[in-house]
Amino acid sequence: MRIDHLDFVAKAASTLTESDGIRSGSSIVLEHVSRALGAQIGFTALRGREGDLAEIVSSRGLGAADFRRLEERIVKSSLWRILGMSSPLVIDDLAMEPVLSFMAYGAAVRKLTAVPIVLHNETVGLVAVGFAIGSTVAEEPVIKLLKAISALLAQTIRVERVVSEEGQKLIEEVTYLKQELREKYDFGHLIGNSSPMRQVYDQVTQVAKLNAPVLLRGERGTGKEWIANAIHYNSLRSKRPFIKVNCAALPESLVESELFGHEPGVFAGASQRKKGRFELADGGTLFLDEIGDLPNRTQAKVLRVIQEREFERLGGSETIRSNVRLITATNRDLEGDIVTGAFRDDLFYRLNVFTIFLPPLRERKSDILLLAEHFLSKYERQHKKAVKRISTPAIDMLTAYHFPGNVRELENAIERAVIVCDSNVIHGHHLPPTLQTAEVSGTETRMTLASAVEAFEGDLIQDTLKSTRGNIAKAAIMLDSTERILGYKIRKYRIDPKRFRR
């Protein structure tokens, strides 16, 4: 039988390229090879990673019983020696092969030709065809064709392994990142021991494991998004998507498309179907930040999703079921917006099932030092600086400031201080100008050179006394001064050393 090898190999390559993997691809190719050669049977066998097991990934002409026998016995047969030889093997009479003789009687096969599948100089399997008793097919063209097919199978295996390894890496990375997020937003990482924050922790712990809607209220920068993350990653939905939407950042013309998705052609530029955030968050949590900025029309649609748990994409008629846990946040006076008609009262009552009020930083002064030290540690690592602590006068400046930007402003202030700090201690002059002066309170004073030097001197003395726990003698040594001079300066700047002994 004459075969156009080039045409046949081209078709086999196309089949393997379009297939879903080695199993489906090799089955189709093996079918074509067996027909082209007039073979009675054919099979592709791969060895396991340990080398002592075989897996028949495709076969033709074998009954179920013979298939199972072949998979069990092939590793004990002379055929499996091909893995060490890396060269074709021909068994002229299967009846004389004790382990594989069942094929000579069950499938009426006498001659078997096998070619190794070699990948990166390692034999990973074989492809074989068997011919019936009395077949006169020449050996050379059979081996030539099987070699070409084995090379194509080797490349398919290589691609499949690369995809599998990349997929496994991706799974591991996703698992690692999810675990990292769970650890980052663990309740133990909530910073603050003030009474208002302890109340917040108790509420977050209560509601995290439930599916009830949560409304987070508080000024900008109080950490509403952090709390939303903590609720999700400590909930039963933590392994499902967590989708965030800032309603204030979306143009009114696009907000419905972003939330509910759209069908192609519904408006200019909508060339294909797009899933909305409710659909993307299915099974997980949807966080709608700045919910008070939603347009009235969109509020009605959000209300329907909460009540009926279903919606339609923009321009579509298909009703989509929604299984989403909703967390919302706002810094607005929603009750006032209800009075003016800017916010729907029925939506408010649906969202207001479990409300958590986040206190502004000025109402939790005792947490400022804890937060400042946390941000110092974070940005010291991030910017690769050796800043170890914050001086006492700098701490006093932080606690005296009212932080209109709340925790976010404090974080930015500490990051700036770490960046500009040229020693291992953050001093007052490293902090932003709004903290260094009284300009925000309207009591600015003009500072002379002498007063600036005195301020720095007083700052340095207080910082040193803190290091020595109020020991003036040790402080004098550290400042390369005398007890008498230091005592004079302490009285001049009205510093109380006892304050540092506690």
**Which alpha helices (DSSP H) does 234-295 contain, by range?**
255-260, 277-280
The pLDDT confidence band at residue 345, using thresholds 50, 70 and 90, is: very high
* pLDDT at residue 119 in the model: 87
3-state secondary structure of 19: coil
Handedness of CA 78, 80, 84, 90 (dihedral sign): positive
For the chain, the 3-state helix, strand and coil shares in percent, each to the nearest 5, are 55, 15, 30
In one-letter notation, the amino acid at residue 151 is A
3-state secondary structure of 211: coil
Residue 405 has pLDDT above 50, yes or no: yes
From 110, 141, 146, select the one nearest 128 (Cα to Cα): 146
* pLDDT at residue 440 in the model: 38
What whole-number distance in Å separates Cα of residue 380 and Cα of residue 417?
A: 10
The pLDDT confidence band at residue 160, using thresholds 50, 70 and 90, is: confident
* Mean pLDDT value of segment 172-190: 65
Beta bridge partners of 246: 289
* pLDDT at residue 102 in the model: 85
The pLDDT confidence band at residue 206, using thresholds 50, 70 and 90, is: very high
The DSSP symbol for 447 reads P
Is 410 buried (19+), middle (13-18) or exposed (0-12) by CB count in 10 A?
buried
* Mean pLDDT value of segment 193-202: 88
Please state, rounded to an integer, the average pLDDT across all residues of the chain. Answer: 85
For the ranges 23-32, 130-139, 422-431, the maximum mean pLDDT occurs at 422-431
The DSSP symbol for 314 reads B
Residue 409 has pLDDT above 80, yes or no: yes
* pLDDT at residue 358 in the model: 94
* pLDDT at residue 412 in the model: 94
| Main-chain phi, psi angles of 33, to 5 degrees | -65, -45
Predicted confidence (pLDDT) per residue in 249-284, tens digit? 888 888 989 999 988 877 777 778 889 999 999 999
Q: 315 Cβ partners below 8 Å, 6+ apart? A: 262, 263, 265, 266, 267, 270
Higher pLDDT, 140 or 178: 140
